[in-house]
């Protein structure tokens, strides 16, 4: 475990529910969705991690969002996991003000999983057509 990740763990220890190093260089840290902006700010602005993407997962009972960050010096990938249990109306704070590149990524997650990103300027369709039916989220398992 590199010093950067140790620093992250100690800095945000109050916010972290659990963490593991699944493989060498691949870390998973679970946090409460309310603190995602705080953690992203520490990682992006303070520790110099590069934001990769958000992977949404429909885990049947809840929706899981996995925010992946990379440290290009050591080659580590740190994935911050959050679980949204309100499947009817999942919502989480937006990172787009903090990281401009997150804007499109959040739009993509919004249209595939219906997650609302509070504070996002423009949550229009990115990949699907404008005439795509409202409330139909193709990556949700209800559609299967």
Partner 1 sequence: MQSIDNKFTKSLFVFHAACSPCNNCDIEILDCIAPKYDIERLGMQLVGSPRHADVLLVTGAVNKKVVHRIKMIYEQTAKPCVVVAVGSCACSEIIFRESYNTCGPLDKIIPVDIYIPGCPPRPEAIIAGLAKYIKSRKNAG
Partner 2 sequence: MTDKNKNFIPIGPYHPLQEEPEYFRLHVEGEIVKSVDIELGYIHRGTEKISENKHFDQGVFLVERICGICSTSHPLAFVNAVENLARIEIPDRAKLIRCVVGEMERIHSHLLWLGLAGHFIGYNTVWMWSWKYREYILEVFEKVTGNRQHYAMMKIGGVRRDIANDDIPWIETNIDEIEKGLELFLKAITEDPVIHARTKGVGVLTKEDIKDYCAVGPVARASGIDMDVRKDTPYAAYGMVDWKVCTCDSGDIYGKAVVRILELFESLKIIRQCLGHMRNTGGPLDVNVKEIPEGEGIGRHEAPRGECFHYVRSDKTNRPVRHKIRAPSFVNVATNQKAVVGSHISDALLVLAAVDPCYCCTERVIVVNKKGKLMKGPDLIKLSQEKTDRIRKKGL
99 near partner 2, judged by CB under 8 A: yes
> What's the closest the beta carbon of residue 139 comes to partner 1, in angstroms?
9
75 near partner 1, judged by CB under 8 A: no
CB nearer to partner 2: pick between 7 and 125: 125
CB nearer to partner 1: pick between 72 and 131: 131
Binders of partner 1 among residues 103 to 132 (CB under 8 A) are 128-129, 132
Beta-strand runs (E) in the chain: 16-23, 26-31, 50-58, 63-71, 76-84, 91-93, 116-118
Site string for partner 2, 21-40 (x = CB under 8 A): -xx-xx-x------------
Q: How many CB atoms lie within 10 A of CB 95?
A: 24
| Nearest alpha carbon to residue 38 among 46, 27, 48, 50 | 46
Say which entry of partner 2, partner 1, none residue 50 contacts (CB below 5 to 8 A, set by partner kind): partner 2
Contact between 56 and 65 under an 8 Å Cβ cutoff? The reply is yes
CB nearer to partner 2: pick between 8 and 81: 81
C-alpha triplet 75, 36, 90: angle, nearest 5°: 120
SS3 139: coil
| Nearest alpha carbon to residue 101 among 53, 38, 35 | 53
Where do contacts with partner 1 occur on this chain (CB under 8 A)? 128-129, 132, 138, 143
Binding site for partner 2 (CB under 8 A): 22-23, 25-26, 28, 50-53, 55-58, 66, 68, 70, 72-75, 77, 79, 99-105, 125-129, 138-139
């Amino acid at each position: 475990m590199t010093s950067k990740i140790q620093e992250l763990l100690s800095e945000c220890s109050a916010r972290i529910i659990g963490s593991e190093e699944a493989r060498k260089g691949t870390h998973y840290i679970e946090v409460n969705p309310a603190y995602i902006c705080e953690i992203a700010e520490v990682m992006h602005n303070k520790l110099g991690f590069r934001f990769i993407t958000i992977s949404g997962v429909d885990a049947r009972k809840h929706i899981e969002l996995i925010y992946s960050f990379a440290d290009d010096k050591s080659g580590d990938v740190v994935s911050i996991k959050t679980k949204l249990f309100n499947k009817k109306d999942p919502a989480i704070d937006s990172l787009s003000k903090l990281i401009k590149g997150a804007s499109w990524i959040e739009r993509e997650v919004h249209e595939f999983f219906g997650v609302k990103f509070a504070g996002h300027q423009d949550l229009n369709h990115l990949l699907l057509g404008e005439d795509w039916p409202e409330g139909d989220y193709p990556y949700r398992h209800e559609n299967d």
